[in-house]
Amino acid sequence: MTQEELNNKLSGIKDKVTKIDKMSETRIYLYCESENSYAVNKFLFEEVPLRFVIATGIDSDDCFEVLYHYSDDETGCIVTAKAFIRDRENPIIESIAPFLPGADWAERETHDVLGIEFKNHPDMRRLILSDDWPEGVYPLRKDAEKPGKRLGGDPAKRPVDQAKCPARRTIRLSKPIVPIGPSHPLQEEMEYFQLSVEGEIVTDIDMRLSYNHRGIEKISESLQFDQVPFLISRICGICSASHPLAYVQAVEELAGVTPPERALYVRTIINELERIHSHVLWLGLAGHFIGYDTVFMWAWKYREPILDLLEEITGNRNNYGNVKIGGCREDIPNELKPRILKDMDETERKMDMLIKAVLDDPVLHVRLKGVGILTKADAIRYAVTGPTARASGLPIDVRRDDPYATYADLNWNVITRPEGDVFAKAVVRLLEVLESIKIIRQAVEKLPDGPIAVEVKEIPAGEAVGRVEAPRGETFHYVRSDGGNRPVRHKVRAPSYVNVPSFKASCIGESIPDVTITLAAVDPCYSCTERLAVADKNSRITHDYEALLRLSRDETDRIREEIGSQHLKLEDS
């Protein structure tokens, strides 16, 4: 579909929208009232059709907005349907989850943080707020910033149907149930899955997240624009280049800033080193999960030189802190280029050996082929991304579809497989490592001379999106500015946020042992999905950025004193 064809198709919904705002060739906003939101979204998803990305809820003081973001992967255009809810006392909008399961979590989260009701949503239980979070308290409403003011009205006046108890996250599955988590050897982070089974076959699956309560999106609103990258690099250690880059690209779009060419090449190299690091780490964990500990030890040994390079360039093995608005903070010294190329040669040699050992193993073929199949149709319905999508025959990759950094100037391939099973996901990741090596070699050889940053004096009012192909898939950041020095809304959507719910499609009908490796096959990062704020029993927000920082430092001091006292006891004995 060409840009002209996209524009012509969008004109087919003119009777349901109040305005079509074409910000650029790759950014289009459709404005509509809440009562027309369902029709507009159904048209975009089924008739155009576009790929659903995420929904963003915003408190605009005089009304609520729900932004449904879609991607036309053939043109690289982001189309956003912006629905306005004028009734602040009783905000209601029709849910699109019945025909688009990928929007399920996004709407539930929006209800949690803003109190917007999604009519006819199939499951409006709490998603990200803890069970002891006060009823009727919505942390991303603007009045949450007013000290001492109760958020969202008096919770005592909000009717709650105790029979349905929609605000609680009670698991509603038939018996018998097999629990996985919250703490489980298969999961590096806390997450709770419940499997409804008949014998060994899984008949239903439900999950509970948000055991790790962080306030990333809320804290972001309290930081200056140039401070935010340090915060969001902590969303995920393995994606600590991807998240800041997506955010920075959104802010640069707002400011109309183009970084120097050398900075774009540095960004490309760092992000591809991160991709190799992530994919090889996943391979090692996958080997460990199925009992191939030799693969685990090989993989983790082979990723060490990659981490050493990242540390050499940025000063850190994780949480690199290198990208900034307008460019990069640290350059790649020209004298380091031979070492990078040498390490790429060595990594390629080791990966060739490892890939042959894994892909030629008949036991792995029997164990992984045909397991946990996610069809292409379900990949679209659940809006999955990254290797999870490409392993189901969905050829999407932001690096090619909406090019950033220097990917458009380099020669590389998008790896896809049609099977959609666990084996296909492994193949995609392994072959993507070789593509990343190819990209890094070209970027190092083409690295131009020049500065690595330009000065950015102010961020004007407006809204923009930035997206990056992180190792697990598309990372999407929406940023809104009012012309001040802080974002007034910052929405983060990590790839795991859409990949994890696809278990509903890939796990039901599988045996219990197959479900566990299917869960691991999407390389889930649960910390990427976590966001929250902290309130007291009087429904007041109590922990802002400074308070959280102070708590962290106090805990570090406590641990240091405890360790010191233990050393003294050992010396006395």
What are the pLDDT digits (tens) for 235-271? 887 888 999 999 999 999 999 999 999 999 999 999 9
- 73, 100, 124 - which closes a domain: 124
Q: Does some domain include residue 35?
A: yes
The predicted pLDDT at position 179 comes to: 81
Q: Which residues pair with 85 in a beta bridge?
A: 64
pLDDT by residue (tens digit) across 180-203?
777 776 666 777 888 888 888 998
The predicted pLDDT at position 70 comes to: 97
Per-residue burial over 260-273, b = 16 or more CB atoms within 10 Å of its CB, e = otherwise: bbbbbbbbbbbbbb
* Same domain for 551 and 434: no
The DSSP call for residue 436 is H
Please give the average per-residue pLDDT across 36-49, as a whole number: 96
Least confident of 46-50, 224-228, 512-516: 512-516
Q: Does some domain include residue 89?
A: yes
Supply 476's token pair: 């999407």
Least confident of 76-80, 116-120, 168-172: 168-172
Q: Does some domain include residue 441?
A: yes
The predicted pLDDT at position 399 comes to: 96
Written in H, E and C, the secondary structure of 119-158 is ECCCCCCCCCCCCCCCCCCCCCCHHHHCCCCCCCCCHHHC
Confidence of residue 92 (pLDDT cuts 50, 70, 90): very high
Distances (CA, A) of 423 to 238, 298, 395, 396: 22, 19, 17, 19
Among candidate residues 461, 481, 548, the one with its CA nearest the CA of residue 221: 481
Residue 197 sits at φ, ψ, to 5 deg, of: -130, 155
The predicted pLDDT at position 144 comes to: 65
Report the CATH number that the domain containing residue 362 is assigned in CATH: 1.10.645.10
Q: Does some domain include residue 466?
A: yes
- 124, 149, 168 - which closes a domain: 124
Is residue 173 scored above 80 in pLDDT? no
Report the CATH number that the domain containing residue 43 is assigned in CATH: 3.30.460.80
Alpha carbons within 13 A on the beta-carbon side of 564: 6
- The stretches of 447-511 forming alpha helices (DSSP H) are 495-499, 503-506
Average pLDDT over the chain, rounded to whole? 86
Q: Does some domain include residue 418?
A: yes
* Same domain for 451 and 306: yes
CB atoms within 10 A of CB 375: 16
pLDDT by residue (tens digit) across 450-462?
999 999 989 999 9
The DSSP call for residue 418 is S
* Same domain for 293 and 233: yes
Is residue 536 scored above 50 in pLDDT? no
Is residue 407 scored above 50 in pLDDT? yes
Of all residues in the chain, the percent with pLDDT exceeding 90 is 55
Confidence of residue 552 (pLDDT cuts 50, 70, 90): low
Task: Return d(Cα 295, Cα 410) in angstroms, integer.
Answer: 31
Task: Return d(Cα 75, Cα 8) in angstroms, integer.
Answer: 14
Q: Is the omega angle on the peptide bond into residue 49 within 30 degrees of 0, that is, cis?
A: yes
* Same domain for 562 and 437: no
Q: Does some domain include residue 203?
A: no
* Same domain for 506 and 568: no
Per-residue burial over 193-220, b = 16 or more CB atoms within 10 Å of its CB, e = otherwise: bbbbbeeeebebbbbbbbbeebbbbbbb
* Same domain for 390 and 298: yes
* Same domain for 419 and 449: yes
Please give the average per-residue pLDDT across 63-91, as a whole number: 95
Q: In what order do the strands lie in the sheet with 487-493?
A: 462-470, 473-481, 487-493
Q: Does some domain include residue 296?
A: yes
pLDDT by residue (tens digit) across 66-75?
999 999 999 9
pLDDT by residue (tens digit) across 313-333?
998 888 888 999 999 999 999
Confidence of residue 443 (pLDDT cuts 50, 70, 90): very high
Is residue 546 scored above 80 in pLDDT? no
Q: Which structural domain, as residue segments, surrounds residue 65?
A: 3-124
* Same domain for 426 and 325: yes
Among candidate residues 277, 270, 276, 218, the one with its CA nearest the CA of residue 244: 270
* Same domain for 555 and 509: no
Alpha carbons within 13 A on the beta-carbon side of 262: 14
Residue 430 sits at φ, ψ, to 5 deg, of: -65, -45
The predicted pLDDT at position 527 comes to: 64
Is residue 31 scored above 80 in pLDDT? yes
Supply 26's token pair: 């790759």
Per-residue burial over 493-519, b = 16 or more CB atoms within 10 Å of its CB, e = otherwise: bbbbbbbbbbbbbbbeebeeebbbbbb
* Same domain for 458 and 552: no
* Same domain for 480 and 421: yes
Q: What is the DSSP string of 276-303?
A: HHHHHHHHHHHHHHTT-HHHHHHHHHHT
Please give the average per-residue pLDDT across 12-38, as a whole number: 93
The predicted pLDDT at position 151 comes to: 39
Question: Does residue 326 contact residue 252 with C-beta atoms inside 8 Å?
Answer: yes
* Same domain for 7 and 115: yes
Confidence of residue 229 (pLDDT cuts 50, 70, 90): very high
Q: Does some domain include residue 488?
A: yes
- How many structural domains compose the chain? 3
- 98, 124, 150 - which closes a domain: 124
Least confident of 57-61, 156-160, 382-386, 441-445: 156-160
Question: Does residue 217 contact residue 532 with C-beta atoms inside 8 Å?
Answer: no
